[in-house]
Amino acid sequence: MTSDKQVLNSSLDKVMLINNLCKSFGDRHILINFNLELIRGESVVVLGKSGSGKSVLIKCVIGLLRPDKGSIKIFGKNIPDLNHDELDQVRAKIGFLFQSNALYDSMTVRENLEFPLRRHWIEVSQEEVDKMVEDALEDVGLRHTIDMMPVELSGGMRKRVALARTLILKPEIILYDEPTTGLDTITSKEIIELMIEIQEKYNTSSLIISHDMNCVRMASDRVVMLMDGRCYANDTYENLIKSEDPKIKMFFE
Partner 1 sequence: MSLRSDFTAFLNGNGELFSFSLRFFRHGLNPPFEFAEFIKQCYVIGYKSLPLIGLTAFIMGIVLTMQLRPSMADYGVESQLPAIVAIAVVREVGPVITALIFAGKIGSSIGAELGSMKVTEQIDAMEVSGTNPFKYLVVTRVLACTLMLPVLVMLGDAISLYGAYLGVNIHTNTSFNLFWTQVFDNLVFGDVLPAFIKSFFFGFAVGIIGCYKGYNSSRGTEGVGLSANSAVVVSSVMIFIIDLLAVQVTNIFDY
Ligand X SMILES: Nc1ncnc2c1ncn2[C@@H]1O[C@H](COP(=O)(O)OP(=O)(O)OP(=O)(O)O)[C@@H](O)[C@H]1O
Q: Which residues bind Mg ion (CB under 5 A)?
A: 55
154 binds partner 1 (CB under 8 A): no
Out of 41, 53, 156, 229, point to the residue binding ligand X (CB under 6 A).
53
Report the amino acid identity of residue 97.
L
- Torsion, Cα of 191, 193, 197, 199 (10° steps): 70
Element (H, E) at 131: helix 126-139
For residue 171, the tally of other CB atoms under 10 A from its CB is 21
- Among 1, 3, 7, 51, contact with ligand X (rule: CB under 6 A): 51
- Member of 38, 43, 52, 72 binding ligand X (CB under 6 A): 52
Considering only the stretches 51-59, 101-109, 123-131, 141-149, report the one whose residues sit in contact with ligand X under the rule CB under 6 A.
51-59
Do residues 144 and 105 lie in contact, with contact meaning Cβ atoms separated by under 8 Å?
no
Q: Is 161 in the site for partner 1 (CB under 8 A)?
A: no
Q: Which is nearer to ligand X, 96 or 140 (CB)?
A: 96
Query: Which of ligand X, Mg ion, partner 1, none does residue 157 bind to, with CB < 5 to 8 Å depending on kind?
Result: none
Q: Which is nearer to Mg ion, 43 or 55 (CB)?
A: 55
50 lines the binding site for ligand X (CB under 6 A): yes
Choose which of 8, 25, 86, 170 interacts with ligand X (CB under 6 A).
Answer: 25
Nearer to partner 1, 208 or 225 (CB): 208
Residue 105 interacting with partner 1 (CB under 8 A): yes
Q: At what angle do helices 155-167 and 109-120 cross, to 10 degrees?
A: 20
* Angle, CA of 40, 63 and 32, to the nearest 5°: 85
Give the residue ranges of DSSP H helices in 168-220: 185-202, 213-219
When CB distances are held under 5 to 8 angstroms depending on the partner's kind, the choice from Mg ion, ligand X, partner 1, none that residue 25 binds is ligand X
- Distance from C-alpha of 113 to C-alpha of 146, rounded to nearest angstrom: 9
CB of 71 to ligand X, least distance (A): 20
Bridge partners of 29, per DSSP, are 24
Give the DSSP letter of residue 37: E
- What element of type H or E holds 85? helix 84-91
* CB closer to Mg ion, 200 vs 228: 228
Angle, CA 137 vertex, CA 131 and CA 139 arms, to 5°: 105
Is residue 211 a contact point for partner 1 (CB under 8 A)? no
Give residues in contact with partner 1 (CB under 8 A): 59, 62-64, 88, 91-92, 94, 96, 98-106, 115-116, 119-120
